[in-house]
Structure 1
Amino acid sequence: MVAMDEDNYKEAIEASFKVFAPRGISSDLLQIIHDSCSEVDSNSSDFWVMVAALKEFIVNEGGGEAPLEGSIPDMTSSTELYVNLQKIYLAKAEADFLVLQQRVKSILKRIGRDPDSISKAMIKSFCKNARKLKVCRYRLIEDEFSNPAVSELQKYLSDEEYSVAMGFYILLRAVDRFAANYNSFPGQFEGELDEDISRLKTAAVGLLNDLGCNGSTVTEDLINEMCRFGASELHAVAAFIGGIASQEVIKLITKQFVPMVGTFIFNGIDQKSQLLTLPAFHRIRWGSR
Structure 2
Amino acid sequence: MAEPKTKYDRQLRIWGEQGQAALEKASICLLNCGPTGSETLKNLVLGGIGSITVVDGSKVENGDLGNNYMVMFTVSESSLGQSKAKCVCAYLQELNDAVKAKFIEEHPLTLIETNPSFFSQFTLVIATQLVEDSMVKLDRICRNANVMLIFARSYGLSGFVRTSVKEHTVIESKPDHFLDDLRLNNPWPELKRLTENIDFDTSDPVAHKHIPYILILVKMAEDWAKAHGGRLPSTRDEKREFKELLKTKTIAMDEDNYKEAIEASFKVFAPRGISSNLKRILDDPCSEVESGSSDFWVMVAALKEFIANEGGGEAPLEGSIPDMTSSTELYINLQKLYQAKAEADYLAVEKRVRDILKNVGRDSYSISKAVIKSFCKNARKLTVCRFKLIEEEFNSPILPEMQKYLTDEEYSAMDDDISRLKTTAVSLLSDLGCNGSTLTEDLINEMCRYGAAELHAVAAYIGGVASQEVIKLITKQFVPMTGTFIFNGIDHKSQLLSL
Instruction: Name the TM tier (shorter chain).
Output: 0.7 to 0.9
* Larger CA Rg, structure 1 vs 2: 2
Report the Cα offset of residue 84 of structure 1.
2.8
State the partner residue of 1:9: 258
State the partner residue of 2:293: 44
Q: Report if aligned partners of 1:7, 1:76 keep a CA contact under 8 Å in 2.
A: yes
TM-score with structure 1 setting the length: 0.74
Partner SS state of residue 275, structure 1: strand
Q: For each residue in 1:106-129, what CA deviation from the matched residue of structure 2 results, as whole angstroms up to 9, or x when unmatched?
A: 111111211111111111111111
Q: Report if aligned partners of 1:49, 1:107 keep a CA contact under 8 Å in 2.
A: yes
1:95-110 to structure 2, matched below 5 A, reads 95-110=344-359
Cα distance change on mapping 1:197 and 1:62 into 2, 3 Å: same
Partner SS state of residue 274, structure 2: coil
1:129-168 to structure 2, matched below 5 A, reads 129-146=378-395, 148=396
State the partner residue of 2:201: none
Cα distance change on mapping 1:198 and 1:261 into 2, 3 Å: same
1:56-135 to structure 2, matched below 5 A, reads 56-135=305-384
CA distance in 2, matches of 1:82, 1:54: 30
Q: Larger % of helix: which?
A: 1
Runs of at least 5 residues in structure 2 that lack an aligned partner in the other structure: 1-205, 211-254
Q: For each residue in 1:120-140, what CA deviation from the matched residue of structure 2 results, as whole angstroms up to 9, or x when unmatched?
A: 111111111110001110112
1:228-267 to structure 2, matched below 5 A, reads 228-267=449-488
Count of aligned pairs: 245
1:203-282 to structure 2, matched below 5 A, reads 204=425, 208=428, 217=436, 219-221=439-441, 222-278=443-499
CA distance in 2, matches of 1:52, 1:176: 51
Letter in 1 for 2:471: I
Cα distance change on mapping 1:108 and 1:181 into 2, 3 Å: farther
Q: Report if aligned partners of 2:275, 2:380 keep a CA contact under 8 Å in 1.
A: yes
Cα distance change on mapping 1:177 and 1:106 into 2, 3 Å: farther
Report the Cα offset of residue 49 of structure 1.
0.8
State the partner residue of 2:64: none
Return 11-20 or 233-242, whichever deviates more.
233-242
Report the Cα offset of residue 66 of structure 1.
0.5
Cα distance change on mapping 1:198 and 1:89 into 2, 3 Å: same
CA distance in 1, matches of 2:275, 2:347: 23
Q: For each residue in 1:136-182, what CA deviation from the matched residue of structure 2 results, as whole angstroms up to 9, or x when unmatched?
A: 10112133223x4x8xx9xxxxxxxxxxxxxxxx9xxx69983x655
Q: Report if aligned partners of 2:405, 2:420 keep a CA contact under 8 Å in 1.
A: no
CA distance in 2, matches of 1:26, 1:277: 22
TM-score with structure 2 setting the length: 0.44
The higher relative CO (CA closer than 8 Å, separation ≥ 6) is in: 2
Identity %: 71
